[in-house]
Amino acid sequence: MPILQRFPASRVLLYAGDHLRPHVHVKLRDGRECTVDIDSLGTQGRVAAREIREELAWIESNRGFLLGEWHRYNP
Predicted pLDDT at 5: 98
Per-residue pLDDT tens over the stretch 26-75: 999 999 999 999 999 999 999 999 999 999 999 999 999 999 999 999 98
pLDDT of residue 19: 81
* φ/ψ bin of 16: left (φ > 0), alpha (ψ from -120 to 50), beta (otherwise): beta
Question: What is the C-alpha separation between 74 and 8, in angstroms, rounded?
Answer: 28
What integer pLDDT is reported at residue 55 of this predicted model? Answer: 99
Q: Where are the domains of the chain?
A: 3-73
